[in-house]
Structure 1
């Protein structure tokens, strides 16, 4: 992965809503900007999942949705999971 892109990995319901398990997207924006772009690209079903999902940036929970995402990062989209 080059430093000018992000890898977005979808899990569980996010994977079903996006219709894929992974994609790349340009870097240089915040998590809020990224999720807005993904929702626009994939539609209402994914937008609904993204509103309640948790996000990991290179394996670490993202708490600042306005901070620029580092180029080359992997973003995991984790919808709420049922069970324990």
Structure 2
């Protein structure tokens, strides 16, 4: 699946986009755990980020993501 990071998530990840190889569906929680497993700063952002799956906000961390999905990681935004 293709993962795109925005704003502070991109900064924490060190990249704006990466690929996550999966042969089967994974949950949002599993993906977040894997992406943050060796990047502590990113793990903190992922804990509070909104995850979009093919342009739609994931309703829960137990929702499944298809291997072909486009996943966007949006950190909380401040301002008004």
TM-score (norm 2): 0.90
2:5 is aligned to 10
- RMSD over aligned CA atoms reads 1.0
Count residues in correspondence.
Answer: 78
User: TM-score, with normalisation over the residues of structure 1?
Assistant: 0.86
Counterpart of 1:40 in structure 2 is 37
Deviations 1:22-66 (A, max 9, x none): 00102321110000000013x110011001100100000101321
**Structure 1 residue 70, shift from structure 2 partner:** 1.4
**Is there any run of 5+ residues in structure 1 with no aligned partner, and where?**
1-5
Q: Which residue of 1 aligns with 2:79?
A: 83
SS in 1 for 2:29: helix
Could you tell me how far apart the structure 2 residues matched to 1:47 and 1:13 are? 12
Long gaps (5+) in structure 2: none
